[in-house]
Amino acid sequence: MAEETPEQTPDQQPEQRQNAQKRENPFRRKNFRGKYPRPERKPETEFASLEKVDELPVSIFGEEAVVEKKETQKQPAQPQQRQPRQPHQPRLQQQPRQPHEQKQSGNRLTVSVVIPLLNEEESLRDLHDQLKNALARVGGNYELIFVDDGSTDNSFKVLRELKSRNPRVKAIRFRRNYGKSAALQVGFQKAQGEFVITMDADLQDDPAEISNLIKELRSGYDVVSGWKKKRKDPLGKTIPSKFFNFVTAKVTGIKIHDFNCGLKGYKLDVVKSVNVYGELHRYIPALAHWAGFRVGETVVNHRPRRYGRTKFGMARYSRGFLDLLTVVFTTRYFSRPLHLFGGWGIFSTLAGLITSGWLIYEKYMNDQPLSNRPLFIVALIMVIVGVQFVSMGLLGELITKNQHLEKEYSVREEIN
Strands 195-198 and 264-267 come out as antiparallel
Structurally, the chain folds into a number of domains equal to 2
| Alpha-carbon span 364 to 46, nearest angstrom | 128
Q: What DSSP string describes 111-142?
A: EEEEEEESS-TTTHHHHHHHHHHHHHHH-SEE
Residue 108: phi, psi to the nearest 5?
Answer: -65, 135
Residues 237 and 370 in one domain: no
Cut 0.75: pTM above it: no
Residues 321 and 348 in one domain: no
Bridge partner list, 112: 143, 196
Residues 224 and 285 in one domain: yes
Q: What is the pLDDT of residues 192-219, one digit of tens each?
A: 999 999 999 989 999 999 999 999 999 9
46 part of a folded domain: no
pLDDT confidence tier of residue 105, bands split at 50, 70 and 90: very low
Query: Residue 148 sits in which domain range?
Result: 105-332
- Can you give the pLDDT at residue 242? 82
For residues 253 and 263, the answer to whether their CB atoms sit within 8 Å is no
Strands 169-174 and 141-148 come out as parallel
- Can you give the pLDDT at residue 259? 86
80 part of a folded domain: no
- Can you give the pLDDT at residue 101? 39
CA count, 13 A, side-chain hemisphere, 382? 18
415 part of a folded domain: no
CA count, 13 A, side-chain hemisphere, 150? 11
Name the domain boundary from 277, 304, 332.
332
The count of other CB atoms within 10 Å of the CB of residue 154 is: 14
- Can you give the pLDDT at residue 57? 54
- Can you give the pLDDT at residue 36? 56
Residues 318 and 344 in one domain: no
377 part of a folded domain: yes
Residues 158 and 271 in one domain: yes
| Alpha-carbon span 367 to 88, nearest angstrom | 111
Residues 224 and 369 in one domain: no
Residue 199: phi, psi to the nearest 5?
Answer: -160, 160
Name the domain boundary from 332, 358, 376.
332
